[in-house]
Amino acid sequence: RDLAKKRRLPLGAAAPVFCLHDEADGGKYTSTLAREFDMVELENELKPPAVWTGPHEYRFSDVDYVLGEPGKKGWAQQHKMKLRGHVLVYASDNGYTLPQWLRSSEKDLTKEQASGLLHDYILALAGRYRGKVAMWDVANEAIDDRPNNNPFNLRDSLWFRKLGPEFLVLAFKWAHEADPKAQLYYNEYGIEGGGPKAKHILELAKWLKDQGAPITGLGLQYHIDCRTKIEPGDGHYGLIEEIRKLRLSYMITELDVAVPAKPLPASDPNRGLVANDPMDLDRQAHVYASVFRMALSSKNCRGVQLWGFTDRHSWIPGFSRGRNGAALPFDGDYNPKPAYSAIATEL
């Protein structure tokens, strides 16, 4: 935290709200997070399924704990941490991204009703925390992995079906209306290093700007692994240069560097916490260093955020069904790994 501050680089970690209570892991979670980072993002509790309980009905209790009710302070302000808001529109249709009541009411919704609901949602949420959120992911993961015939290869989501690609322009305009000082991002995975999806994100960003959407920049997730190579002149640096040419900023938003995990049964509490090859932890340290080097070398980077910080609470083991893990700079007992010193050296 101190080193990053000297470099003026906002440095964050995603955290589930239950870990932001002082009793979590005997106090180690909150004390480590507040010591090492100056920015936090809620891992799931600001996503539409968590907040948007029904038409014009919202559940703010978890977010209030972190940001405070209107006029009050929450955990983040008490620890002098910026908040990265994730995410206003998660542009796909599953239980993690879209509330069930909305999924099941799609056939009865007119275009006007859909747009009215989204407008109210963004105003209610981003408006409630106006001035307390440093930057919002306005839209997340709207681009499909496989080629389709939609503009910018957008996913076939409820918002796309009802409103067309315009839903993205509207979401940015409404987020700005709700909280004019917040930076606003379009966030995506699988674009690191270039490729067809990276091409689409650049085309989309240019179009958003041309449409007058108040976009600050692109969020590059960076869920990568210990074999990833990042060097000046390659596709990683190339994408950042293309973003700069569009006069946009970027943030690394969900950095983790997975390694193959020791195969352990699902019931083993150490599943996903132990690298199968200890040498991979050194490879991982190099990869973390290379990401920070890139971020610090570019003028348009507005911060780096990790997707968690301790292997104890990382999404990677669950997501990979135990095949990968140990993806973060602190081990499951909150001890710094080689990646930690590698990051500190870059800073």
Considering the complex, what minimum distance in angstroms separates the CB of residue 345 from ligand XIL?
Answer: 28
Whether 311 contacts 322, CB under 8 Å: no
Considering the complex, what minimum distance in angstroms separates the CB of residue 199 from ligand XIL?
Answer: 20
Looking from the CA of 74 toward its CB, the CA atoms found within 13 Å total 22
Considering the complex, what minimum distance in angstroms separates the CB of residue 162 from ligand XIL?
Answer: 22
- Cβ neighbours of residue 251 under 8 Å, at least 6 residues apart? 135, 185, 217, 218, 219, 220, 301, 302, 303, 304, 305
SS3 243: helix
Residues involved in catalysis: 141, 254
Question: Residue 3, class by beta-carbon neighbours within 10 Å (0-12 exposed, 13-18 middle, 19+ buried)?
Answer: middle
Looking from the CA of 205 toward its CB, the CA atoms found within 13 Å total 29
- Encoded one letter per residue, x for contact with ligand XIL by CB under 6 A and - for no contact, window 125-144 reads ---------------x----
- 43 touches ligand XIL (CB under 6 A): yes
Restricted to residues 187-226, the positions that interact with ligand XIL (CB under 6 A) are: 189, 221
- 157 touches ligand XIL (CB under 6 A): no
Q: How many residues bind ligand XIL (CB under 6 A)?
A: 8
The continuous run of DSSP H or E covering 2 comes out as: helix 2-6
Considering the complex, what minimum distance in angstroms separates the CB of residue 135 from ligand XIL?
Answer: 14
- 186 touches ligand XIL (CB under 6 A): no
- Encoded one letter per residue, x for contact with ligand XIL by CB under 6 A and - for no contact, window 268-307 reads ----------------------------------------
Query: Which lies closer to ligand XIL via its Cβ, residue 115 or residue 228?
Result: 228
SS3 314: coil
Restricted to residues 301-320, the positions that interact with ligand XIL (CB under 6 A) are: 315
Helices 196-210 and 235-245: crossing angle in degrees, nearest 10, is 10
Restricted to residues 89-118, the positions that interact with ligand XIL (CB under 6 A) are: 96
Considering the complex, what minimum distance in angstroms separates the CB of residue 3 from ligand XIL?
Answer: 26
Exposure string for 44-64, b = 16+ CB within 10 A, e = fewer: ebbbbbbbbeeeeeeebebbb
Contacts with ligand XIL by CB under 6 A lie at 43-44, 96, 140, 189, 221, 254, 315
